[in-house]
Amino acid sequence: MGRSTDPRYLAVDTLNKLESSGEFLKDLLDAQLQKSSLSRLDQGLFTELVMGTVRMKRSLDYVLAQFSKRPLAKIHPALLNVLRIGVYQLLYLDRIPPSAAVNEAVKLARAFGHEGTAKFANGVLRQVLRGRDSLVYPSLEEHPAEHLGLKYSYPDWIVEHWLDRWGVEETAALCRALNEPPQLQIRVNTLKASPAEVRAHLEDRGASVEPGRYLPEIFTVEPAHLAVADPWLDQGMFYIQDESSALAAHALQVEPGQTVYDLCSAPGGKTTHLAQLMQDQGRILAFDVSPRRLALVEENARRLGISSIATAVGDATQDLQLPPAPRVLVDAPCSGLGTMGHRPDIRWRKRAEEIKDLVEIQKGILHQAAGYVDGQGLLLYTTCTLTSWENEEVAHWFLAEHPEFRGEPFPEGFPGCGPEPWLKTLLPHRHGGDGFFLALFRKVKF
């Protein structure tokens, strides 16, 4: 097997590049898949090995440290990634025989090193194989954050924050849910096709298509590649979007003919969904600070056959001098922790200290947004993260700073949990999909 057709070799190579380049995992995965000669089956294994190893890195290193006589800091980075991939297969991939996982890792250690590194890898992995059923973690009762962080592979600061919010059982369930391989969900573009037509089309091509939990235009599709590679995607019959994200457009309760401002619109999932719910009648003004990212909104609108969206480059923390409108969406820049299921590298990229800067940006955008809402209009604030600092605390700050608004209860039956009817948090283990937050405000004084 050549290197361009060896999913394990390419997985190690991708992990090495991730650590040395600082690029985002998704970009590296896409680039590797495009230039490789992997079969469809091996593409799946390659993706699983990379995503899973990144996701479980802290747990894998904890296990390796128990069985390696050499400190992990003194192991060459490429060899360490070989060992991580080997341990990941031994602990989490039941379909791969343990002997195959060890033997393939030994070959990789030789390819990325020499005979000595191959022998070292063989010894460590066989030790892990013998001892994997007797792994010991810190006490859950005495050290809950350390226990959950090591067992489920999260930084302590994330686990500690969730423990303060939700307690041990809820936090453990959330950690497990965000470690599950993500499912692909699509949003049917009802401007071009009905949900029944799209479902029948994908099922005719061998896909398993299940309805979303809450929205009739959402489907979960397995295997994912049958939707990603389907020509109907390019023709705009459907759009890849998580159901949690899709709920935002429904929460804003738009109507045909309205004017809507989407202040942080790229790449356009929520923007185009709003247009769809408005039957492409009215006007949506979509802003983003990045011209490159704004071009994605334009591209998605063209593909979906939408004409009601106009784009404009603009920094939403500054006054955009917009006349009042009945609906305003602030899908704010955030830490993105709710998307860790399909973006596992986020947990290692974000730091608690960075949240303060994000909160200031979020507050700045909301402060400007307040001036764009007309009398009795709605303002929706959303994030795809799960920290109270960016979510509930920002929402309460907004009401304290802007008494002309009040919290507006969500429509009856709207999913999510929260201490008040105008705040909704979608948790993966309770509601499926990504973690997501929504706060709805109505302007009552003008």
Q: What is the CATH number of the domain that holds 214?
A: 3.30.70.1170
Note whether 211 and 78 are same-domain residues. no
Beta strand 259-262 pairing with 238-240: unpaired
- Any idea which residues carry the catalytic annotation? 384
pLDDT tens digit sequence for 97-131:
999 999 999 999 999 989 999 999 999 999 999 99
Residues 86-104: b if buried by 16+ CB within 10 A, e if exposed: bbbbbbbeeebebeebbeb
Q: Is the pLDDT of residue 207 over 70?
A: yes
Q: What is the pLDDT of residue 2?
A: 61
218: β partners: 187
Indicate if 296 and 188 belong to the same structural domain.
no
Which residue has tokens 């390696």?
68
Buried-exposed string 255-288: b where 16+ CB fall within 10 A, e elsewhere: eeebbbbbbbbbebbbbbbbbbbbebebebbbbb
On whether both 398 and 318 belong to a single domain, the answer is yes
Same-domain status, 114 and 158: no
Q: Whole-model pTM?
A: 0.95
Q: Looking at the structure, tell me whether residues 397 and 414 fall in a common domain.
A: yes
Question: Is residue 130 a part of any domain in this protein?
Answer: yes
DSSP per position, 179-197 = TSPPPEEEEE-TTT--HHH
372 pLDDT tier (thresholds 50, 70, 90): very high
- In degrees, rounded to 5, the angle at the alpha carbon of residue 203 between the alpha carbons of residues 200 and 206 is 155
pLDDT digits (tens, 9 = 90+) for 285-297: 999 999 999 999 9
Find the angle CA(8)-CA(9)-CA(11) to the nearest 5 degrees.
60
Q: Is the pLDDT of residue 245 over 80?
A: yes
H or E, element range at 213? none
Range of the domain at 162: 144-178
Asked if the structure places residue 373 within a domain, the reply is yes
**In this model, does residue 11 exceed pLDDT 90?**
yes
Contacts of 301 (CB under 8 A, 6+ apart): 268, 271, 272, 275, 307, 309
Examine residue 324 and state whether it is found in any structural domain, yes or no. yes
When the pLDDT of each residue in the chain is averaged and rounded to a whole number, the result is 96
Same domain, 108 and 229: no
Residues 129 and 228 placed together within one structural domain of the fold: no
Number of separate domains in the chain: 4
Indicate whether 139 belongs to any domain.
no
